């Protein structure tokens, strides 16, 4: 079978799993997860094969695996649907199915498969409180499979429309999975319920999606095609787009389309100002947070931007002024990176810290693309997927352990609050070590972890091309280290602060095995991107050949996606030193505040008092949710309730209908009356009159001869009288 | 000299009395008697006219004789009818014979 | 006022009185008898009109046959109305009115013009009237056909009367 055909097969096994589980396997939990995991593994094996084939092809950037079918004839041209595997896609195909598969396996243990259904568990009301199996187990795997389909479709798509389809499918699954525990309600009205969080996520990303749609339409309008190869790999088309002015003054077509498409990424990848949905999306089960909101969906936004990079950077060359989309990306990305990391410092919920961390890291990637560091951004995307997934799964394991402890201690505390944890290092060792590796990778612990290499490359590029971006990113890297160490210290170090933490125990193998596998990648994945210019180490890894490419193949491999292979930067010691300092510095600071003297139970956050009102501001996320609620949610609510419902719907539309009905009714009544008096009654009256006359005259017909004779005589006399009068001249 | 119109007025009076009898009596036979009076009035008329206008021609009397015969026949048939009705309905009251309607 | 006029008036008066009694008496047999009286006075009138045959026929036929027939019929239907109730029906006043009106009308008409007086005839005409009557009634030039038809009529009436009034077996 040709490799092109195999590529078509990558997205569809999870889709098949979705339909099979939904239609047939809903009752059997074992069958559901088996179907989901097996078909996901099939997809993973095919993508691994494709990746290795791509890896073995020389100059893969030019000889891509592509296959398309004509789909929609539109006048002169035909819109094609197809698949494309170029180096960027191949890199994505390496990690996306792998992480998805690992998360599928993780979910088996997370949802307590093997336990009996607990009588206390109401379907949809929340995570099983007494360690019973999740009642909606099969549904979870169905949705996860559908989501995997969406992501894989987006990754292998060869045109913007198919990418957008995958984009929207993932949006739907995000909604379904965030609101998975739809029946869960909280006593505190300020705490957002899963149902509300799902709607919020959908609505916020929708704003971005609409703008992205506009961009796609405009692009199609200008070029007549949406295929990547035809637009992005084509110098002429790019030049034409970059020089044609668009509707907006000062922007070329490429600029306007780029900005609109970037708006979609702002929504999907939770950049400022559309970042508000991601922290609240933590209401979903942890595998969902890991997969969707760390490893795959949010990185789809960055992937889309990386894919469209030639368009976004049309008209730019190394060292020259940035195009408007790139400038926007640089500003928003770096701002978001700093902004989110400041909020993460003050959060109490273990998953929320990671959510803000994700927002911050995505900001890194967007900023990297904004300054033209294409390969660095792609590199950080892949390493981030690994260690963020690891961190989320680890936090899920921690929460699982604390819930298990709650089952023993019968306390009613929030199992996700870090201030209720502590000392889990001894209770859950595997989780602790893998979480530590992930945390170090996130902070950029030098040389060993993957995060260091990718972050360092971004910082190096930023230092070379955009110094302001460099300092902002460096500052947020410092904060990243700080809050990561804070998180690790509060969760794992010291003594348990509550009974539940005391009784916590290590999670089953289905949970810990994916953690171990991911931590392996969190270390090794970085080594493939060690720059060749790096002193010592760079030479070493370049000499190890894997087939056509060296061990640190990443730059050369992924760089081949673009028309012009980007040059590797010369080695500069300053950004390297800066990244080591901020990484280690942040970790040390965090350990000093939180880890050296670990917090006792009931002790408040040591930062709260010194920072004072700033701490409150951070803890409340700069009050953005309240601002948006005031600005948008309330006005929309008012608009729909008053204008649309009361005025348009009830007053106008219903009013028209009611009026028509009343008019018809009145007309009907009028006609009824008119008909009664003109058509109905006169014949009745005529009949009655005839009857009356007949009745009156019938009196005469008595049947008696004498009466008849009397009448004869009367008439005869009358006639005689008349005759006489006529004869005598009285009457003429 | 009795003028002709005296006879005619007499006949008219007899006729009208007979008419009153026909109109106002209950018993069918009494009605027939009224009819007889009317017939007699007619025949008086006929004979008077014969005597005063054409006494030499006997045609007038012939007419009267024929009318006589007819009157006799009529009375006999009428009485036969009354008897038949009496047999059927056990009554000779003319008012009760009221089937001759619709 | 000549003798004939007075005679006529007397006969007329008595005849009319008898006729009134015929139509007003409650007892039907008495009414029938007064009918006989009326018919007799009609015969007297015929005599005054020099119609001897008519007078004789009147007495023999009307009184001797028809009046008897009427009395027979009364007898045969007597059981029901024996000395019974009113013999005047509900519309008698209207009937009286009509009769009176009719009389007034006719009498008025009759008085309006002059009428001829009695023409004189010689005795031979009166004496021969019966002979002439017989001759006329039976001669083919005369009225034999009406005469025969009248006989047929009588026969038919006879048969009819028997058929109608006969007992059905």
Domain hosting B65: range is: 4-96
Q: Kind of pairing, strands A549-550 and A77-85?
A: unpaired
Task: Give the integer Cα–Cα distance in Å for A206 and A541.
Answer: 44
For chain C, how many residues are written? 169
**Is residue B95's pLDDT more than 80?**
yes
The total of structural domains in chain B comes to: 1
**Residue B26 neighbours by CB distance under 10 Å:** 21
**Residue C122 neighbours by CB distance under 10 Å:** 9
Whether B26 is in a domain gets the answer: yes
**Yes or no, beta carbons of C62 and B65 under 8 Å apart:** no
Residue C103 pLDDT grade (very low, low, confident, very high; cuts 50, 70, 90): very high
What residues of chain C lie within 8 A of the CB of A714, using their CB? 98
Q: At what angle do helices A467-492 and A573-590 cross, to 10 degrees?
A: 30
Looking at chain B, the whole-number percentage of residues with pLDDT higher than 90 is 59
Q: Which chains touch B (3 or more CB pairs under 8 A)?
A: A, C
pLDDT of res. C136: 87
**Yes or no, beta carbons of A717 and C98 under 8 Å apart:** yes
Q: How many CA atoms lie within 13 A of C162 on its CB side?
A: 5
Task: Give the integer Cα–Cα distance in Å for A249 and B45.
Answer: 135
Which domains can be identified in chain C, with CATH numbers? 1-82 (1.20.120.1200), 123-169 (no CATH)
- What do you get for the CA distance between the two ends of chain B, in Å? 54
pLDDT of res. A120: 67
Domain boundaries, chain A: 325-387+415-619, 627-700, 703-732
- Put simply, the chain C residues between 35 and 64 with a CB less than 8 A from any chain B CB are 35, 38-39, 42, 45-46, 48-51, 53-54, 57, 61-62
Residue pointed to by tokens 């989320």: A392
pLDDT of res. A182: 86
Whether B49 is in a domain gets the answer: yes
pLDDT of res. B12: 95
Per-residue DSSP letter, A371: T
- Closest CB from C89, C99, C102 relative to A706: C89
Whether B101 is in a domain gets the answer: no
| Burial (Cβ within 10 Å: 0-12, 13-18, ≥19) of residue A71 | middle
- Put simply, the chain B residues between 29 and 88 with a CB less than 8 A from any chain C CB are 29-30, 32-34, 36-37, 40, 43-44, 47-48, 50-53, 55-56, 58-59, 61-62, 64-66, 68-77, 79-84, 86
Per-residue DSSP letter, A598: P
Residue A726 pLDDT grade (very low, low, confident, very high; cuts 50, 70, 90): confident
Return the bridge partners of B27, or none: B93
pLDDT of res. A512: 87
CATH number of the domain enclosing B69 = 1.10.287.3510
Helix/strand/coil percent split, chain B, to 5? 80, 5, 20
Residue pointed to by tokens 């059981």: C79
**Yes or no, beta carbons of B86 and C80 under 8 Å apart:** yes
- Closest CB from B47, B66, B92 relative to C150: B66
Residue A582 in tokens: 């901020």
What residues of chain C lie within 8 A of the CB of B73, using their CB? 153-154, 156-158
Whether B65 is in a domain gets the answer: yes
Compare all CA atoms of chain B with the CA of C124 and give the residue at the minimum distance. Answer: B56
Positive or negative, the Cα torsion across A648, A649, A654, A657? positive
Those residues of chain A whose CB sits closer than 8 Å to some CB in chain C are: 706-707, 710, 713-714, 716-717, 720-721, 724
Helix (H, G, I), strand (E, B) or coil at C158: helix
Mutation target among C66, C132, C138 for the B interface, most CBs of B within 10 A: C66
Task: Give the integer Cα–Cα distance in Å for A295 and A332.
Answer: 21
Q: A242, A312 in Cβ contact below 8 A?
A: no
Helix (H, G, I), strand (E, B) or coil at A247: coil
Mutation target among C87, C92, C101 for the A interface, most CBs of A within 10 A: C101
Please count the residue pairs, one from chain A and one from chain C, whose beta carbons lie less than 8 angstroms apart: 21
pLDDT of res. A40: 93
Q: At what angle do helices A137-156 and A297-307 cross, to 10 degrees?
A: 10
The arithmetic mean of pLDDT across residues A254-275, rounded, is 89
The arithmetic mean of pLDDT across residues A23-50, rounded, is 89
pLDDT of res. C79: 66
Which ipTM score applies to this complex?
Answer: 0.92
The arithmetic mean of pLDDT across residues A252-273, rounded, is 88
Total H helices, total E strands in chain C = 8, 0
pLDDT of res. C35: 96
Residue A499 pLDDT grade (very low, low, confident, very high; cuts 50, 70, 90): confident
Alpha helices in A24-86, H assignment, sequence order: 29-56
Residue C81 pLDDT grade (very low, low, confident, very high; cuts 50, 70, 90): low
Whether B47 is in a domain gets the answer: yes
The arithmetic mean of pLDDT across residues B60-78, rounded, is 93
**Is residue A303's pLDDT more than 60?**
yes
pLDDT digits (tens, 9 = 90+) for A595-628: 777 777 777 777 777 777 887 778 777 888 888 8
Beta strands in A515-640 (DSSP E): 545-546, 549-550
Query: pTM here?
Result: 0.66
Looking at chain A, the whole-number percentage of residues with pLDDT higher than 70 is 96
Compare all CA atoms of chain C with the CA of A712 and give the residue at the minimum distance. Answer: C98
Q: At what angle do helices B59-89 and B28-53 cross, to 10 degrees?
A: 180
Q: Kind of pairing, strands A545-546 and A77-85?
A: unpaired
pLDDT digits (tens, 9 = 90+) for A66-102: 888 888 887 777 788 888 888 888 888 888 999 999 9
**Is residue A149's pLDDT more than 90?**
yes
- Closest CB from B19, B31, B98 relative to A702: B98
**Residue A664 neighbours by CB distance under 10 Å:** 10
Task: Give the integer Cα–Cα distance in Å for A88 and A114.
Answer: 40
Q: A199, A206 in Cβ contact below 8 A?
A: no
Task: Give the integer Cα–Cα distance in Å for C71 and C49.
Answer: 29
User: Is B24 in CB contact (< 8 Å) with chain C?
Assistant: yes
Task: Give the integer Cα–Cα distance in Å for A353 and A541.
Answer: 35
Whether B51 is in a domain gets the answer: yes
Across A149-153, A728-732, B55-59, which has the greatest mean pLDDT? Answer: A149-153
Task: Give the integer Cα–Cα distance in Å for A310 and A308.
Answer: 6
Helix (H, G, I), strand (E, B) or coil at B26: coil
Mean pLDDT of chain A: 85
pLDDT of res. B45: 94
Task: Give the integer Cα–Cα distance in Å for A40 and A612.
Answer: 49
């Amino acid at each position: 079978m040709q490799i092109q055909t195999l590529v078509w097969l990558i997205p569809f096994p999870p889709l098949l799993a979705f339909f099979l589980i939904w239609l047939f396997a809903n009752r059997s939990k074992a069958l559901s997860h088996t179907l989901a995991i097996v078909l996901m593994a099939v997809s993973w094996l095919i993508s691994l094969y494709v990746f290795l084939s791509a890896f073995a092809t020389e100059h893969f950037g030019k000889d891509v695996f592509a296959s398309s079918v004509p789909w929609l004839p539109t006048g002169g041209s035909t819109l094609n649907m197809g698949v494309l595997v170029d180096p960027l896609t191949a890199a994505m195909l390496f990690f996306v199915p792998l992480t998805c598969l690992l998360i599928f396996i993780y979910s088996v243990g997370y949802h307590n498969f093997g336990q009996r259904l607990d009588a206390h568990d109401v379907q949809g009301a929340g995570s099983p409180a007494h360690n019973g199996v999740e009642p909606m187990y099969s549904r979870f795997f169905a949705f996860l499979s559908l989501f995997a389909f969406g992501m894989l479709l987006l990754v292998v798509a060869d045109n913007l429309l198919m990418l957008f389809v995958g984009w929207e499918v993932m949006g739907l699954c995000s909604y379904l999975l965030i609101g998975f525990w739809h029946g869960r309600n909280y006593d505190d009205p300020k705490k957002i319920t899963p149902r509300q969080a799902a709607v919020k996520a959908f609505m916020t990303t929708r704003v971005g999606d609409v703008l992205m749609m506009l961009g796609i339409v405009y692009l199609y309008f200008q070029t007549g095609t949406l295929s990547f190869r035809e637009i992005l790999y084509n110098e002429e088309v790019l030049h034409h787009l970059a020089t044609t002015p668009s509707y907006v003054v000062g922007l070329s077509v490429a600029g306007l389309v780029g900005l609109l498409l970037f708006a979609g990424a702002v929504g999907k990848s939770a950049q400022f100002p559309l970042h508000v949905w991601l922290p609240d999306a933590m209401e979903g089960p942890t595998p969902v947070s890991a997969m969707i909101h760390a490893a795959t969906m949010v990185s789809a936004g960055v992937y889309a931007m990386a894919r469209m990079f030639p368009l976004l950077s049309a008209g730019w060359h190394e060292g020259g002024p940035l195009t408007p989309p790139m400038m926007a990306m640089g500003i928003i990305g770096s701002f978001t990176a700093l902004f989110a990391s400041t909020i993460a410092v003050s959060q109490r919920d273990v998953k929320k810290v990671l959510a803000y961390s994700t927002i911050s890291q995505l900001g890194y990637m967007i900023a990297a693309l904004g300054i033209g560091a294409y390969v660095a951004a792609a590199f950080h995307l892949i390493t981030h997927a690994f260690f963020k997934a690891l961190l989320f799964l680890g936090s899920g394991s921690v929460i699982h352990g604390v819930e298990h402890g709650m089952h023993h201690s019968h306390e009613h505390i929030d199992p996700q609050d870090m201030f209720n944890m502590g000392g889990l290092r001894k209770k859950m060792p595997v989780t602790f070590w893998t979480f530590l590796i992930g945390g170090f990778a996130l902070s950029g612990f030098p040389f060993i972890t993957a995060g260091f290499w990718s972050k360092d490359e971004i910082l190096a590029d930023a230092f070379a091309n955009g110094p302001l971006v460099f300092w902002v990113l460096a500052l947020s890297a410092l904060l990243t280290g700080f809050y990561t160490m804070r998180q690790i210290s509060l969760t794992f170090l010291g003594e348990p602060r509550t009974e539940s933490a005391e009784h916590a125990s290590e999670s089953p193998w289905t949970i810990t095995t994916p953690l171990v596998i991911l931590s392996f990648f969190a270390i090794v994945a970085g080594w493939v991107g060690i720059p060749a210019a790096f002193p010592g180490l760079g030479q070493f890894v370049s000499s190890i050949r894997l087939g056509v490419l060296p061990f640190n193949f990443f730059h050369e491999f992924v760089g081949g996606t673009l028309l012009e292979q980007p040059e590797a930067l010369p080695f500069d010691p300053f950004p390297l030193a800066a990244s080591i300092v901020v990484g280690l510095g942040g970790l040390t600071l965090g350990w000093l505040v939180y880890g050296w003297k670990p917090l006792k139970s009931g002790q408040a956050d040591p930062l709260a008092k010194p920072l004072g009102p700033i701490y409150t501001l951070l803890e409340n996320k700069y009050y953005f949710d309240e601002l948006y609620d005031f600005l948008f949610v309330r006005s929309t609510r008012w608009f729909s309730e008053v204008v649309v419902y009361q005025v348009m719907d009830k007053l106008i539309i219903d009013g028209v209908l009611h009026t028509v009905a009343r008019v018809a009714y009145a007309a009907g009544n009028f006609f009824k009356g008119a008909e009664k008096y003109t058509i109905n009654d006169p014949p009745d009256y005529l009949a009655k009159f005839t009857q009356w006359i007949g009745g009156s005259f019938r009196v005469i017909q008595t049947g008696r001869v004498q009466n008849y004779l009397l009448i004869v005589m009367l008439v005869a006399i009358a006639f005689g009288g008349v005759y006489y009068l006529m004869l005598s001249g009285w009457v003429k | 000299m009795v003028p002709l119109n005296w006879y005619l007025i007499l006949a008219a009076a007899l006729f009208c009395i007979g008419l009153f009898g026909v109109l106002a009596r209950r018993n069918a036979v009494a009605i027939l008697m009224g009819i007889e009076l009317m017939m007699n009035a007619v025949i008086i008329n006929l004979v008077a006219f014969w005597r005063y206008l054409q006494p030499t021609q006997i045609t007038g009397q012939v007419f009267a004789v024929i009318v006589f015969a007819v009157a006799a026949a009529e009375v006999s048939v009428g009485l036969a009818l009354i008897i038949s009705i009496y047999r059927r309905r056990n009554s000779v009251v003319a008012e009760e014979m009221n089937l001759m309607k619709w | 006022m000549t003798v004939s006029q007075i005679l006529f008036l007397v006969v007329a008066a008595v005849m009319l009185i008898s006729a009134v009694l015929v139509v007003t008496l409650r007892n039907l047999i008495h009414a029938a008898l007064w009918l006989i009286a009326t018919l007799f006075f009609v015969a007297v009138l015929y005599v005054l009109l020099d119609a001897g045959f008519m007078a004789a026929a009147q007495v023999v036929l009307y009184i001797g046959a028809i009046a008897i027939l009427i009395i027979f019929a009364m007898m045969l239907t007597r059981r029901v109305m024996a000395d019974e109730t009113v013999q005047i029906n509900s519309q008698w006043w209207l009937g009286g009115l009509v009769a009176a009106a009719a009389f007034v009308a006719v009498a008025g008409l009759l008085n309006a013009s002059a009428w001829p007086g009695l023409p004189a005839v010689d005795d031979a005409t009166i004496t021969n009237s019966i002979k002439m009557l017989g001759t006329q009634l039976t001669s083919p030039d005369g009225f034999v056909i009406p005469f025969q038809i009248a006989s047929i009529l009588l026969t038919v009436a006879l048969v009819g009367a028997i058929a109608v009034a006969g007992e059905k077996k």
